[in-house]
Amino acid sequence: MSNFPKGFLWGGAISGSQAEGGFNKGKKGLNTQDLRYFDASWDTEKRTENRNINMTSERFKVAKNSETTDFYPFRRGIDFYHNYDEDLDHLIELGIKIFRTSITWSRIFPKGDESEPNREGLDFYKKMFKKCQDNKIKVFATILHYDTPVHLIEVYGGWKNRKMIDFYLNYAETLYRELGDLVDYWLPFNEINANRFNPYNGCSIIKDDEPDYLQSIYTCGHHQFLANARAVELGHKLVPGVPIGGMIARFTTYPATCHPNDVMKALEDENVKNYFYLDVMARGAYPNYMKRFFAENQIEIPWQEGDEAILKTNTVDFLSFSYYMSMVASTDPQYEKSSGNLVSGNKNPYLTASEWGWQIDPVGLRITLNDMYDRYHLPLFIAENGIGAVDQLEDDQVHDTYRINYLSEHFKQMKEAIHDGVDLIGYTMWGIIDIVSCGTIEMSKRYGVIYVDLDDAGHGSGRRIKKDSFKFYQDIIQTNGNKL
C-alpha cells in the first residue's frame, strides 16, 4: 500500500466570514454574510425553515441598516479578528503544514468599487500570513468565499452585472501584489458551483428579487467563470509559479438502483451540479450537455466576443473540492429522504448520517478522487472535509470519538486513492477550529479539533479548548498518516 507522499500538505481550513467577527472594525464594509439572520431561540423546525429561506429582500433591507451583532452571528464569528495570533499558536502546536482561509473582500475594499485599498485590512492579512510563513505553515488563500460587499449588490446588481468582473479583478490584483510573497496556493472562488445550490451565498442573488431566477443564476455564473479565468491569467503574470486552483462543492451522486433511468438521472445530476463547473475551469469550455440544458430551460448565457478565448487560455493549475457526503439520484418521487435535522436528499440505506442528515461516505471520497483525477489529470486538493456535530464540553474536555472515526475513515480512503494512482497534494480539514456554520448559522454545529466556548447566541467565554481529535490529528500529521 502506498504511503502519503513526502511533503503531503496536512492542514486546516476556515473562512473569513465564519471566523473573523469584527464586522465593523478596521474600516471594513458590510458584506452579504453580515446580513444573514439567525435567532438562537429557534427550534429545529425554524432553523430548517431559515436555512431554506436563506435571504429575502425584506431581511436584506432591515439587516443592512442595523448595527447590532445580535441575530447576526457572522458579525461575531469566533472573533478570530482579535484572536488570530493565539489561534495560530494552537495550529502551530497541532503541526499543520498548510492553513486555508479566505480574505474578506470588504476589509480590503469596503464598498468594492474603490480604486485604493484599505491598508488596515491588508495589514491584518499580512500579519496573519507572515506568522504562518515564519512558522513554516503554507498559506492557501481563498479570494472570495461567499462574502461580496453589499454596496456592489445595491449599486450594480451584483454578479448579474458584467462590471463585477472588473471590481473583482481589481481586488484580486491588489491581493497578488500585496500578499503575493506570503501565499503558496490561491483559490479565486470558494465552491464556484454554489451559484446553483445556494444562489445567495454563491452569487449574492435573492430569490424574491429575481423574476427569472434560473436565468440570473447562470448569468452570474458566467461572469464568475470569466472572473475566475482572468484571476488565473493575472495570477500567472503577477505571482508566477504559484498554483491557482478551481474549487467546487463535490456532490458525488449514485443512482438509487441499476434502472437505466436512475443511472441517467445520476449522470445528469453530476453534470449539472459538478462536472459543468470543473469542465469550464479545467477544460476551458462550456460542455455540450449544458447547451442542451440551457436550451431546454430557455437560458441565454451572456456571451461576448473574446469570452471563449478567455476561458480556453486560462485554465486552473489544480482542482480542489469540499467533500462531506455523497448523494443518491432517483426517478421515484416517493423515494425515502435522508433522516436528520436538515434533510439533504435521498437516503442511502448503506450509510449512516450526521445529526444534520449528511450521509457519511468515506469510500465515496476515494471514488471522487479517482473520478476527478482520471477525468482531468490535474493535481487534487481536498479543501474541505469534516463532520459537523454537537460536542459536549465536560470538565474542559470534549471526547469526540465520532470525529476521530470520521476523519480516520476518510484518511484511509485518501491513502487508497493515492495507491490507485491519484495525485493528491493536500487536505485542509474544515473548520479546524469551531466557527459559525455556513448553512445553518449555528455555533452548535461544530467541526473543529479545537472547541470554542461560545453558544448559538454568541454567549460564552470564547475560550479555546483542545478536543480529543486534536491529539489524533496531531499524530496523523506527525506520522504523515502512515500509521493508519
Site residues for ligand BG6 per CB under 6 A: 15, 18, 190-191, 249, 322, 384, 388, 430, 437-440, 445
CB of residue 248 to ligand BG6, shortest distance in Å: 10
- Please count the CA atoms within 13 angstroms of the CA of 9 that sit on its side-chain side: 24
- Name the residue with the smallest CB distance to ligand BG6: 439
CB of residue 136 to ligand BG6, shortest distance in Å: 26
Residue type present at position 215: Q
- Please say which residue, 4 or 356, places its beta carbon nearer to ligand BG6: 356
- Please say which residue, 77 or 158, places its beta carbon nearer to ligand BG6: 77
CB of residue 20 to ligand BG6, shortest distance in Å: 13
| 244 bridge partner residues | 186
C-alpha span between 475 and 180 (Å, rounded): 31
- 8 Å CB contact between 15 and 142: yes
CB of residue 343 to ligand BG6, shortest distance in Å: 14
- Please say which residue, 415 or 467, places its beta carbon nearer to ligand BG6: 467
* Residue 294 CB neighbour total at 10 angstroms: 16
Is 384 part of the annotated catalytic residue set? yes
- Please say which residue, 314 or 322, places its beta carbon nearer to ligand BG6: 322
* Sign of the alpha-carbon torsion through 271, 49, 54, 383: negative
Is 191 part of the annotated catalytic residue set? yes
CB of residue 436 to ligand BG6, shortest distance in Å: 8
- 8 Å CB contact between 239 and 139: no
Among candidates 333, 337, 331, 347, which has minimal Cα distance to 262? 331
Strand, helix or coil for residue 283:
helix
Helix (H) or strand (E) holding 176: helix 163-179
Catalytic residue among 93, 116, 173, 191: 191
- Please say which residue, 171 or 323, places its beta carbon nearer to ligand BG6: 323
- 8 Å CB contact between 271 and 289: yes
- Write out the three cell numbers for 484: 493508519
C-alpha span between 179 and 239 (Å, rounded): 10
Catalytic residue among 20, 58, 268, 384: 384
CB of residue 249 to ligand BG6, shortest distance in Å: 5
Helix (H) or strand (E) holding 16: helix 16-19
Q: Which residues are catalytic?
A: 191, 384
